Every structure is written in C-alpha cells, then in structure tokens.
Structure 1
Amino acid sequence: MDLPRAENVEISEDSTKISTPRYAIMDTLRGSITIEISKDASAGVVDRFINLCKIDYFKGMPFRHVIKNFLIQGGDFDLNGAAQEWILKAKASGENSLSPKHEAFMIGTTRSPNNKGFDLFITTAPIPDLSDKIILFGRVIKGEDIVQEIEEIDTDEHYQPKTPIGIINIMLIQEL
C-alpha cells in the first residue's frame, strides 16, 4: 500500500493561537500511539505541530527512516539533506552514550530554519545527546508496543522501510 507524500506547507508563525491540547493520538498502519504533548517544550514547535495536525499535514505521511535501537523518522524533507547525514553518522559511529534528555519513546522535530517541512522523530532507545539536533515536544505514553513493532520492519541499507509504513492521521485531544 503506497502512502501519499505530505506536501510542503508553510505555516505562519502568526497563526491563530489555539488552546494547547494535552494529547495527540497518532494512528499508524500498525496501530495507535498516544503522545503526551509537553507543556514545557518550545511553544513555537508545539504550536506548529498542533497547527499542522489541524490541517491534516501528517495524514498519509510515511516513516522514511526506521533505525532499530535509535529512532523512527517521518516527515517531509530532502532525503539527501542534513537530517539524513547526522542520523546515519550517529548510528554508524555506534555512539550509545545515554542521555536522560533523549530517552526512549520521546517525540521531537529537527532544529531547522526551514519552515516548509516538519520532521517527526520517535526515539526507540536512549540515544546520544541530540539537543543541538532535535527539539523534544512530547513522549509516547501508550502504544510503545506499536513503536517497537514499527522498529522491527525490514529496511534497506539506508534504513528506509522496504514496505511502506506511516501515519494514517493524528487526532488532538484534551483528555484521555
């Protein structure tokens, strides 16, 4: 089953301010993942994530990199860009020093001046300190088994899934 590619969408930083939902339910081809949105995260990143959810930006978005014991990455980005470079270098170097800031099942996005896309990361293990690469804005509180199932899919030598896997949709909610 082919997933449609999310289109580049530019979101104005002046978008109408909305009440920040506490949770996001990410439906994937393998099941649902419940994310607690961090109230302490960067307000701009959280607002951007929420605005993109509201316009169905993530609907049909594929996971482009699935790296066992590291992370799952979805998003609209250049596959030859900087994000791919640091992801593959970090995994290949075998860096596994633990960082309490980037433990397993954290949700984040790249630190990037590019407003046209949005990378979405789910860490699958404690990973090296990526504070200069990823802004965390949430954590998985239900569906860790789904994240682990996605982490086990077959990938090619570039960590790209051999079978399409991705996000069906993300729904925002205030209460569980």
Structure 2
Amino acid sequence: MPRIKPQTLLLQSKKKKGPTRIISVTTIVFASFILVLFLLSLFTTYRYWSQRSRNLGDGLDLEDFDEDGEKFDRPIYAIVDTSKGSIVVELFKEASPEIMDKFFHLCKTGYFKGMLFHRVVKNFVVQAGDFQRVGAAEDWILEVKPQNELMSTKHDAFMLGTSKDIHAHKGFDLFITTAPIPDLNDKLVVFGQVIKGEDVVQEIEEVDTDKLYRPKSSIGIVNISLRRQS
C-alpha cells in the first residue's frame, strides 16, 4: 500500500474543515456606527413631531406666556385642551382689561381644569362653567335659541366670550358660538376667536343632549394654557 505524502494529508484536512469566519474589528465598528445613526434618526423624528404637536402646527409658532410680562405686547393665544381635542383661541387686544385680567388669573391658577360643557345648543353655542348656577346666561340660551332664525346676524361663529353678569358670581362662564349670533355684545363680553380647532368645537356641538340642552355624556376642559407668538 503506497504511503500518502504529508502535503497531500494537509490538503485533505483543509478540505474537510469548514471555512473559519472571523468578524473583524472594522465590521463591528461599522455596525455600531450604523446603529447609532439609526437611534439618532429616531430621536430627531420624535423631537420634531413632539414639538409640532405642542405648537399645534399650521404656521403658529407659540411659546409660554409669562403673566408678569406685558400682556398686550404681542398676540396672545389660549390653548383650550378638551376631552375632544385642542382649540386655539386668539384673544383680542381690545377686549375688556378686567375680563382679560380675570381670565389670565384663572388660567394660571388652574380654575378651568375639569370644567364641564354643561350647555350645548346645536347651531348656536356651547357653554362651559358652573352647571349648578342657573342665571342670566342660561336664561339667555333657553329664551333666545327659538327666536334665532328671526333675528339679523351681526357676529361670526367660533367667538369666545363670557357672561356679562360676571360681577354677580365668583365664577367665569365660557361660551363658544357655533353660528353667527344676533346682538351678541348685548349678551356676552366677547374676548377671543377660535383660529384652530373648529372641528373640535363642532364635535362638541354634535353630542346628544336632553331637552334643556345638557349633554348626556360628560365633555370637559382638561386645561387652558396661555401662549404667545414668538
């Protein structure tokens, strides 16, 4: 039997063994670099959409409002966060200083947190405030609504106001009109207009109510914060 040469045995041994895979340092560094880039991309995307959500988009760049600063130096906005979504209201510079001061103070102290919309009248107005206090505002809603079609319109929809009997109680009612209201200034102190979130107001307007226009399911204000354009 012929002897097999050592070189032949070495070649046969190499053929039987599978290829040895060695992960180089360069490969590990490159993979780590790709992973870091991916994580940074995710973080950047998150920050972008988070900031866009806070500013409520559509070209409205808003910043926190400092009540100690000059109130009417720049346009002021109220962000009304409700259980149905957010509503952006531009507050009028020429509005009653007394009303504005009280509104600013109540926003700062969290007065509106948890406040319910307790009157919802389709094609007319939605009202938030103290549902246990029955006064001029509620009387106005119940009495004027049936006559609405017979009276001339003088104001646009989506106006924000409060009752003129503000001195009669310690609270602060909020009204958002959903249609042009006749002689609105005779009933309310108007101090703002909805510029974003009209669809949220309309969604609130469409809830089921009883005969006294009280919503059958609770709809409330989560909070109202003040912002101004930067």
The answer for the alignment partner of 1:127 in structure 2 is 181
The answer for the alignment partner of 2:76 in structure 1 is 22
Contiguous gaps of at least 5 residues in structure 2: 1-66
> Which one has the bigger helix percentage?
2
The answer for the alignment partner of 1:105 in structure 2 is 158
Q: Are 1:64 and 2:115 counterparts?
A: no
Inter-CA distance 37–92: structure 2 relative to 1 (3 Å threshold): same
CA–CA separation in structure 2 for the residues paired with 1:53 and 1:76: 16
Write out aligned runs for 1:15-164 (5 A): 18-20=69-71, 22-76=76-130, 78-95=132-149, 97-100=151-154, 102-112=155-165, 113-164=167-218
**Whose relative contact order is higher, 1 or 2, with alpha carbons under 8 Å and at least 6 apart?**
1
CA–CA separation in structure 1 for the residues paired with 2:78 and 2:145: 28
* Deviation (angstroms), 1:130: 2.3
Q: Is the 8 A contact 2:84 2:203 kept in 1?
A: yes
Q: Is the 8 A contact 1:24 1:172 kept in 2?
A: yes
* Deviation (angstroms), 1:79: 4.2
For 1:160, give the aligned amino acid.
R
For 2:163, give the aligned amino acid.
T
Q: Give the number of the structure whose alpha-carbon radius of gyration is greater.
A: 2
Alpha-carbon deviations, 1:27-61, whole Å to 9, x = none? 00000000001001111111111110000000000
Count the aligned residue pairs.
160
Write out aligned runs for 1:2-13 (5 A): none
Alpha-carbon deviations, 1:64-93, whole Å to 9, x = none? 100000000001254432211111000123
Q: Is the 8 A contact 1:58 1:170 kept in 2?
A: yes
Q: Is the 8 A contact 2:156 2:181 kept in 1?
A: yes
Contiguous gaps of at least 5 residues in structure 1: 1-15
The answer for the alignment partner of 1:5 in structure 2 is none
Q: CA RMSD in A?
A: 1.8
Alpha-carbon deviations, 1:97-139, whole Å to 9, x = none? 3433x31000000111224010100000001112121000000
The answer for the alignment partner of 1:4 in structure 2 is none
Aligned with 1:149: secondary structure? helix
The worse-fitting range, judged by mean Cα deviation, of 143-152 and 68-77 is: 68-77
Q: Is the 8 A contact 2:119 2:127 kept in 1?
A: yes
CA–CA separation in structure 1 for the residues paired with 2:80 and 2:200: 11
Q: Is the 8 A contact 2:148 2:182 kept in 1?
A: no
> Which one has the bigger strand percentage?
1
CA–CA separation in structure 2 for the residues paired with 1:40 and 1:153: 33
% identical aligned pairs:
56
For 1:138, give the aligned amino acid.
G
The answer for the alignment partner of 2:47 in structure 1 is none
Q: Is the 8 A contact 1:77 1:119 kept in 2?
A: no
